[in-house]
Amino acid sequence: MEEPAKKRILSGMRPTGNLHLGNLHGALANWKELQYEYQCFFFIADWHALTTEYKDPKGIQAYILEMVIDWISVGLDPEISTFFLQSAIKEHTELHLILSMITPLAWLERNPTYKEQQQELESKDIATYGFLGYPVLQAADILMYQAHAVPVGLDQAPHVELTREIARRFNFLYGEFFPVPELLLTEVPKLLGIDGRKMSKSYNNSVFLSDSLEEVRRKLSQMVTDPQRARRHDPGDPEVCVLFPFHKIYSPPETIAEINRECRKAGIGCVDCKKRLIEKVIEALEPVRTKREYLSRNIDEVRQILEAGNRKSRAFAERTLTGVRELIGF
Ligand code: SF4
């Protein structure tokens, strides 16, 4: 008996820097699970990166293959999922243009992340037409592959809502064509940077997948802990400590329970607690590092994987655009 076709999902990442542990335990861990259940298209969103990096776009190129290396090293399998580069599929620009024609301006202006991002990225001038239309480009990405669902964190949910509205509007104007994608809301563990702020490339506080084991060790040993534990015998609270969420991921249940108990009565010191964490993180990252090294030495293999994914995605995109052009009569 033929297997029922898997539902399709699409998700992407902007190549604006190396991937860190926050990315690993956020989007990537989720993608790893989803790849067995869904037909997955994962893409490198270089045009999206251009919306904020347009003044100095050279850096974008440097991170494209690095991103593919990271994806494979953490366990995404290009044999079962399709990886592609957004700018290699020119149909995305055409669909973006067509969807721009039917998207009311008010939908974009009311997008809550638009103003938030402008404040967050105040060092960059993003009061541009391209940045306002960012969610329309995202809608083009998603609808191009007729995705049934999109995995997102809560902060990205309004963008997918907008994609759903754009799909409905297209279907209403020209005839049923695009599936209206569902939101696959994902809970991600909140991992902060080593200084206790949001883990971000711009704060220089992240542990990267490309870091050497020495760097991982050095960075983790600098991690801030509960400020109440200024002295060894001061009791602490793991729930306010930057380290504890990492233990919850990397340490066995008995260690987590022990730290949770002993920290509160100063039965364990922060130095010891960090040492235990570092050993576990190093152990977990070792296979990632080995795979990374292999792929970095065999970069042509990585390039070929991306090119094969581009070919497959392009064929899909061409079919979608043929259908779209027919419906609007072009
Ligand atoms: S003992 Fe561990 S969990 Fe408690 S404050 Fe120190 S580092 Fe954080």
Q: Ligand 1 centre from 234 Cα, in Å? A: 11
Tens of pLDDT, residues 11-37: 999 999 899 999 999 999 999 999 999
∠ Cα 115 117 118 (to 5°): 65
Q: Ligand 1 centre from 242 Cα, in Å? A: 8
Going by C-alpha positions, the residue among 68, 98, 99, 110 that lies closest to residue 85 is 68
Sheet holding 182-185, edge to edge: 82-85, 39-44, 8-13, 149-152, 182-185
Token pair 């759903």 is found at 164
Q: Which atom of ligand 1 is nearest to the CA of 244?
A: 3
Nearest CA to ligand 1 atom 1: 270
Nearest CA to ligand 1 atom 3: 238
* pLDDT value, residue 124: 75
| pLDDT over 60 (residue 284) | yes
Q: Which atom of ligand 1 is nearest to the CA of 226?
A: 5
Q: Ligand 1 centre from 154 Cα, in Å? A: 29
Tell me, letter by letter, the H, E, C secondary structure of 261-329: HHHHCCCCCHHHHHHHHHHHHHHHHHHHHHHHHHHHHCHHHHHHHHHHHHHHHHHHHHHHHHHHHHHHC
Token pair 């070929």 is found at 304
* pLDDT value, residue 65: 97
Tens of pLDDT, residues 103-140: 999 999 888 777 777 666 667 777 889 999 999 999 99
* pLDDT value, residue 186: 83
Q: Ligand 1 centre from 250 Cα, in Å? A: 15
Going by C-alpha positions, the residue among 41, 15, 12 that lies closest to residue 27 is 12
The rounded mean pLDDT for the chain is: 93
Beta bridge partners of 43: 12, 84
pLDDT band at 271 (very low <50, low <70, confident <90, very high): very high
Mean pLDDT of 42-48: 97
Q: Ligand 1 centre from 264 Cα, in Å? A: 9
* pLDDT value, residue 251: 96
Structure tokens at 6: 């898997």
| pLDDT over 60 (residue 1) | no
Question: From CA 130, how far away is CA 203, in angstroms rounded?
Answer: 26
Q: Which atom of ligand 1 is nearest to the CA of 270?
A: 6
Nearest CA to ligand 1 atom 5: 226
- Ligand 1 pocket, residues with Cβ under 6 angstroms: 225-226, 229, 236, 238, 241, 243-244, 259, 263, 268, 270, 273-274
Q: Are 248 and 282 in contact (CB under 8 A)?
A: no
Tens of pLDDT, residues 193-229: 999 998 887 788 999 999 999 999 999 999 999 999 8
* pLDDT value, residue 158: 85
**Global pTM value:** 0.92
Structure letter (DSSP) for residue 232: T
| pLDDT over 80 (residue 160) | yes
Tell me the best of 228, 240, 243 to mutate to test the pocket of ligand 1, counting ligand atoms within 8 Å of each CB and taking the most.
243
84: enclosing H helix or E strand: strand 82-85
Q: Which atom of ligand 1 is nearest to the CA of 223?
A: 7
Q: Are 166 and 136 in contact (CB under 8 A)?
A: yes
Q: Ligand 1 centre from 223 Cα, in Å? A: 10
